[in-house]
Amino acid sequence: MRHLAVIPDGGGRWAFERGLLRVNGYVRGTEAVTDIIDAADELNLKFVTFYASSLENMQRGEAFSLSLSSVYVEYLTETLLPIAEARGYKLLFVGDFKKLTPELMSCISKINAKTINNKGLTVSFVFAYDEMEEVTAAFNYVFTQKLLNADYTEATIEEVERYMYSAALPPVDAVLRYGGFCRLSGFLPFRTAYAELFFSDKLFPDATKGDIYDLMKAYKRIKRKFGRTE
């Protein structure tokens, strides 16, 4: 396996079950993110990607956006950046950054600049993402450029894909979704088209490194054909 993607669902439910505020579930979830990154590194994966927030998440209201942004800014700055610098990780960010708070956008910009040349594990976070918006924005950009250059040929998927938010990510080999739901919720359709899908009933704050080791064992037993008969 080269690229594992994780959908970290269930933080709010984890907090409610314990009589805590929703934000406490997100804070606990960052500890699980670190555990999964550790496991990915130990298993010699090249990419691990987390679905940090969908566009729908960002439409839950200003209070939600601010609390989620605060959790990520603190985690990325205080915890993950020092680890990335010590281990040579590249931190990559994907999504519609216009929907993010200025604080999170500034944090992402600084961290990206500090780790862009690192050659180790690439840890990616997908923020404010919507699959239809990703395709529409990329197509509109290509279409506009063709008009400006008097190019009236049809746009190709290769041209459009080059300008998608997720263009820097390679195909996903496996997706692990926590939280008990068996769906991808529009997560990176162009990258997950041939991904093996794994679902866990665990709420994400309860995730452990062992989950990734178990997933790897199951993944190795799968014969991947990519649509071919053999």
The verdict on whether 140 is a catalytic residue reads no
- The residue behind tokens 């997706």 is 175
Catalytic residue among 9, 130, 173, 211: 9
Helix (H) or strand (E) holding 124: strand 122-127
Distance, in Å, from the CA atom of 83 to the CA atom of 123, rounded to the nearest integer, reads 11
Catalytic residue among 38, 57, 96, 118: 57
DSSP for 57-84?
HHTS-HHHHHHHHHHHHHIIIIIIHHHH
Lookup: tokens for 139: 């197509």
Please, what is the end-to-end C-alpha distance for the chain in angstroms? 19
Q: What are phi and psi of 114, to 5 degrees?
A: -75, -25
The verdict on whether 9 is a catalytic residue reads yes
Distance, in Å, from the CA atom of 145 to the CA atom of 71, rounded to the nearest integer, reads 38
Residues 6+ apart with CB under 8 A from 129: 51, 53, 54, 55, 94, 95, 96, 165, 186, 187, 188
Q: In what order do the strands lie in the sheet with 90-95?
A: 90-95, 122-127, 47-51, 3-7, 174-177, 196-199
Distance, in Å, from the CA atom of 26 to the CA atom of 29, rounded to the nearest integer, reads 5
Catalytic residues: 9, 57
